[in-house]
Structure 1
Amino acid sequence: MHRPFVDKEDLNQALETLKNGGLILYPTDTIWGIGCDATNPEAIEKVFALKGRDKSKSMLILLHSDNQLASYVREIPEVAYQLIESYDRPITIVYSGAKNLAENAIAEDGSIGIRIVAHPFCQQLLQRFKKPIISTSANLSGQPSAQTFDQIDELIKEKVDYIVKFGQNEDSPGTPSIIMKLDPSGKFEFLRK
């Protein structure tokens, strides 16, 4: 299978922005997202401010491999790996007992939503950044999610520090991920199908 070309300069700019605590606007395996370093509380504050989002609403993070889960979740039920493998659509799993992340990235109940991405740009960015990245839909709080780059509010485009070039011309609409909550005991429930 042919991998889409990821421009090194585009990747480097996004990487530098993340390292410097900035916000990026980037394509994911679902819809366009606003991202930042998930271990940097000041960067996460900027995301809340930009979106006008209630701070009690948690964010989700992206990882490039399920091997990284143990670094950010205290107890991973074995079924988590089976769930990740079994879906052909992107799946976000909410785990309890988040760790090694900025406090304001974690929900009040100590949980965190994590998605393992298969998107060519995201994968390379995450592999090089070596830390999780926040991913929240590129919209103002209360507004519908943008399905394509052209639908993203101009205010968001003006306020982020870097806009990734990869995928801007993609016109097929993105779809939000499946979301499920997974208990340390292995019980799970769907929050969004």
Structure 2
Amino acid sequence: MAELLKIHPDNPQESKIQKVVEVLRNGGVIIYPTDTVYGIGCDFTNAKAVEKVCKIKGIDPKKMHLSFICYDLSDISLYAHRVSNHVFKVMKKALPGAFTFILDSSNKVPKVGGVKKKQVGIRVPDHKIPRMIVQELGNPIVTTSVYGKDGKTMTDPSLMKEEYEHQVDLIIDAGMGDIQASTVIRCIEDNIILLRQGLGDIEKFADVLSKEEAESLLVEEE
């Protein structure tokens, strides 16, 4: 049965962060807060734990769209292949923040279900808890949104415990989560394409976009 562990979102207790990291190092799966929705994740280098996350989500590991949380931009150079100067400038403006950047993966990204992922989603959330976890763990953690049986985003950690307490090993309670997921942007070579408008505001990095990119990304909603 999963433990519900309260951690202060602005001043996370180091002893509690270490407790979470111990669970991850032992191959555990956790539910944790981000700057958008709560996520389900594990140490992304632990193949069995990643497969467990896939099972919880009802996803075939071979078809999983792998996304994970890094501590900062220095980690991105390890797991992404050939990030151009232009894309790096965009990411530097946007992160930490509510964005997922889809990038070509490097050879340091582990296989999932025996399959090498050609592209990966990389996040550096503007939230102390997941970044502290990653920093202490020394590896990125897989991130995939927490949904209820009704298919809607879950925001209340106490309700997450009721639904997931027999599937995950630990649930962090850092207060209510958001209902809106991250903004997803694909960056292949120098091409920057909006795949999903979420909580991240593109205006945050609009000044480093080309005129053509700005026209294609900064589209007012009808």
TM-score, L = length of structure 2:
0.75
* Aligned mates of 1:153, 1:13 — CA distance in 2: 18
Flag the 1:62–1:18 CA change in 2: closer, same or farther, 3 A: same
Flag the 1:80–1:174 CA change in 2: closer, same or farther, 3 A: farther
* Aligned mates of 1:175, 1:83 — CA distance in 2: 22
Q: Deviations over 1:97-134 (max 9, x none)?
A: 33322211898661000011221111211111111110
Give the secondary-structure state (helix, strand or coil) at the position aligned to 1:25: strand
Runs of 5+ consecutive residues of structure 2 not aligned to the other structure: 1-8, 198-222
Kindly indicate whether the alpha-carbon contact (under 8 Å) linking 1:60 and 1:115 is maintained by their aligned counterparts in 2.
Answer: yes
Q: Is 2:80 the counterpart of 1:76?
A: no
Larger Rg: 2
Percent of pairs with identical residues? 23
RMSD: 2.5
Flag the 1:157–1:134 CA change in 2: closer, same or farther, 3 A: same
Q: Deviations over 1:40-74 (max 9, x none)?
A: 11110000111112331312100010011111112
Flag the 1:67–1:142 CA change in 2: closer, same or farther, 3 A: farther
| Offset, 1:8 | 2.4
Kindly indicate whether the alpha-carbon contact (under 8 Å) linking 1:38 and 1:105 is maintained by their aligned counterparts in 2.
Answer: no
Q: Is 2:36 the counterpart of 1:34?
A: no
Partner of 1:118: 126
* Aligned mates of 1:155, 1:33 — CA distance in 2: 14
Alignment of structure 1 residues 9-158 onto 2, 5 Å: 9-55=15-61, 56-87=63-94, 89-104=97-112, 110-139=118-147, 143-152=151-160, 154-158=162-166
Partner of 2:181: 176
| Offset, 1:142 | 8.0
| Offset, 1:86 | 3.1
* Aligned mates of 1:14, 1:131 — CA distance in 2: 13
Report the more deviating stretch, 56-65 or 93-102.
93-102
Kindly indicate whether the alpha-carbon contact (under 8 Å) linking 1:59 and 1:105 is maintained by their aligned counterparts in 2.
Answer: no
Runs of 5+ consecutive residues of structure 1 not aligned to the other structure: none
TM-score, L = length of structure 1:
0.85
Give the secondary-structure state (helix, strand or coil) at the position aligned to 2:54: helix
* Aligned mates of 2:29, 2:104 — CA distance in 1: 26
Q: Deviations over 1:135-193 (max 9, x none)?
A: 1112268822223424537332331111124x1xx236342111011112x11111101
